[in-house]
Amino acid sequence: MAQTLVALGLDLADLTPLANLRAALQRCLRQMAKERAASALPASRDVKAAPPPGE
């Protein structure tokens, strides 16, 4: 497996080793939630409320 990773030229320096698949999935879900929340903040400021009916 290590030879394949080297042959593909993969850089694993940014990977965080975790104890098991459960811990990895929990970390993934937390990171996705953080990214979703961060991307939603600027968009919510740009949204303008619709004018009341009749205006």
pLDDT of residue 22: 97
Please tell me the predicted confidence (pLDDT) of residue 27. 97
Taking the CA atoms of the chain, what radius of gyration do you get in angstroms?
Answer: 21
pLDDT computed for residue 20 by the predictor = 97
Per-residue pLDDT of the chain (55 residues; tens, 9 = 90+): 889 989 999 998 998 999 999 999 999 999 999 999 998 876 555 556 666 676 5
C-alpha to C-alpha distance for 31 and 8, rounded to whole angstroms: 26
pTM above 0.75, yes or no: no
**Angle made by CA atoms 37, 11, 13, in degrees to the nearest 5:** 65
Cα dihedral 32, 36, 38, 43 in deg (nearest 10)? 170
